[in-house]
Structure 1
Amino acid sequence: MIYEVRHVTRYTYAATVELTNGILRLIPQSGDGQMLERFDLSTDPPCLAPAERLDGFGNRILSLRIEKPHRALSITASSLVRVNRSPLPGSSRPWERVAEEALTVASISPDGPATALYPSRRVELFGEATDYARLSFSKHRQVNDAAMELTHRIRSDFVYDPEATEVSTSAREAFQRRRGVCQDFAHIMIAAIRGLGLPALYVSGYIRTIPQPGKERLAGADASHAWVSIWCGSDTGWRDFDPTNAQAIQNEHIIVARGRDYSDASPIESMVLSSGRHRLDVEVDVAPV
């Protein structure tokens, strides 16, 4: 599949903003079954020429700096992405062997498991999540099978409710409420997986929404999305699972950034010189070409 992706973020401020500084994680990755063919960025008001760098997870980071005073800001990222992923392998190693191997890998490269084993800023380890995962990760069970069952259980046991949580809600809080959004379900699954000693990362990106039979696809109806990447051993590498939709990622998923949790992979981080409140609106369109 080839997709045109358009991600528009709009800020409206109650008072004039004198200066905006920030970083953007909006460039889809090449690799893991997808290829970025084009990326364009525009802002209104215009920003200074952005510098680009790679972070420790291999994400492409753009700087954002706007020195012109403004009361509104729009950021538009446009991409052309080709996606062609292989199905999840039918067999995999027992999860205990993967956990043992993860402790022996000394590399801290983006592809290594080291940084994905331990608690992070937004994902603490807690016994309730670990116990929840153990129901799927029984003794000597293959890691792919256990992870797939866990994604299905989260989809079944938790309610998708955008009003139940905020961006700052912890994995423990969302787990206790049994409701939240894709960010919460990803954090819960990461806490559960890491509690077993398996490496798990947070993935931000996009998912194409499929219209109901007989209905036309609506422009702007897609959304930013989040799911989980699990290290399944040096021979297999990372495999991605979507607990919000109870599936391994398919050709409808587009990867943008990875990190230990949302803090490492959020699309936009900014700091403004101003006072008063602001309003945020986000629109994502993932259109097959």
Structure 2
Amino acid sequence: MRYSIHHRTVYRYEDNVSYSHHLARLTPLETPVQNHISSRIVVTPAPDILTSHRDYFNNPTSFFSLASPHQELVIDSHSEVVIAHSPANTLDLSPAWEIVRDQVRRSTISADLAAAEFCFASPLCPVLPDLVAYTLESFRPGTPILQATTDLTRRIHEDFSFDNSATTVTTPVSEVFAKRAGVCQDFAHLQISCLRSLGLPARYVSGYIRTDPPPGKPRLIGADASHAWISLYVPQLGWTDFDATNNIIPTTNHIWVAHGRDYHDICPIRGTVYGGGTQTLAIGVTVTPLESASS
């Protein structure tokens, strides 16, 4: 499936901003199933500096800086991607979750070593004792890891209500777990914390989702600005994604933009602003299906 994505971010300030510096992660990733065709970022007013690089997690990242006074900043990101159907994993033939936990701990294989850093707590994904018992309801002894994670995904989807008034970007996982409500970012952080509580490598994925489905297909739940889900690493199989918000394994309706330990690592835009006073923020994303990848 081929998609065109337009992500627009508008900052408006009460007073002049004298100068500002920003990092943006708005360029889609190249993955085994996602082909990044093109991207461009347009900043208004025109920045004095605009460069690109790869961050620690290999996410495409833009840096821009403005040294002229402004009361409005507009960032337009335009991208095209083609997403192929990923091969189906046989859930019950994946290794038992205890085997994965132990292998990642002791492996000297480079891919396993790279994944091992996602076994530990991060600022927004703590390892909590209460989550161990909740997670073990799906991770019975000897259960194939992908089968167990699929069940955990289903339970989070059923046990937690999607409610964008229940949490904010600063709501901790412990409060989400207690409230049994949140949004896609909260569910991703919760599921990562659950998996890491058992010593399993899981990472946060940021991207977009096609919420307007083809005829006859159910509408998916996702934020207007972006969507979030998780990836679980299994040696020999690599990373497999799970979307607890919609209780699915992402395929051609999900567009990958960045991944990291949690939201702090992949925030779409962050920066330092000097002056400006009170600010307002408006974000809009349009994901347009263009054609089937085979056409």
TM range (shorter): over 0.9
Native 8 Å contact 1:25 1:268 kept in 2? yes
Native 8 Å contact 2:107 2:113 kept in 1? no
Runs of 5+ in structure 2 lacking a partner? 291-295
TM-score, length-normalised on structure 2?
Answer: 0.91
Taking a change above 3 Å as real, the CA distance of residues 89 and 110 of structure 1, as seen in their structure-2 partners, is closer
What's 1:138 paired with? 140
Native 8 Å contact 2:35 2:81 kept in 1? yes
What's 1:32 paired with? 32
Aligned pairs for 1:278-289 (under 5 A) are 278-289=279-290
Native 8 Å contact 2:104 2:112 kept in 1? no
Aligned pairs for 1:1-289 (under 5 A) are 1-90=1-90, 91-106=93-108, 112-211=114-213, 213=215, 222-233=224-235, 235-289=236-290
Q: C-alpha distance in 2, partners of 1:256/1:125?
A: 26
**Alpha-carbon shift at residue 129 of structure 1 (Å):** 1.6
Native 8 Å contact 1:154 1:185 kept in 2? yes
Native 8 Å contact 1:29 1:257 kept in 2? yes
Q: SS at the partner of 2:6?
A: strand
**Alpha-carbon shift at residue 106 of structure 1 (Å):** 4.5
> Runs of at least 4 residues of structure 1 off by over 3 A?
105-111, 211-214
Q: What amino acid does structure 1 have at the position aligned with 2:38? A: R
Q: What amino acid does structure 2 have at the position aligned with 1:59? A: N
Native 8 Å contact 1:108 1:114 kept in 2? no
Q: How many correspondences in the alignment?
A: 284
- How far does the alpha carbon of each residue in 1:160-192 deviate from its partner, in whole angstroms, 9 at most, with x for none? 111111111111111111111111000000000
Identity %: 37
Q: C-alpha distance in 2, partners of 1:252/1:222?
A: 14
What's 2:293 paired with? none
**Alpha-carbon shift at residue 270 of structure 1 (Å):** 1.1
Q: What amino acid does structure 2 have at the position aligned with 1:8? A: R
Native 8 Å contact 1:224 1:284 kept in 2? yes
Q: C-alpha distance in 2, partners of 1:174/1:145?
A: 24
**Alpha-carbon shift at residue 88 of structure 1 (Å):** 3.3
Q: C-alpha distance in 2, partners of 1:89/1:134?
A: 22
Taking a change above 3 Å as real, the CA distance of residues 212 and 33 of structure 1, as seen in their structure-2 partners, is closer
Q: C-alpha distance in 2, partners of 1:76/1:157?
A: 37
Q: What amino acid does structure 2 have at the position aligned with 1:112? A: A
Q: C-alpha distance in 1, partners of 2:234/2:58?
A: 19
- How far does the alpha carbon of each residue in 1:31-80 deviate from its partner, in whole angstroms, 9 at most, with x for none? 13001110011011111342222122111111021112111111010001
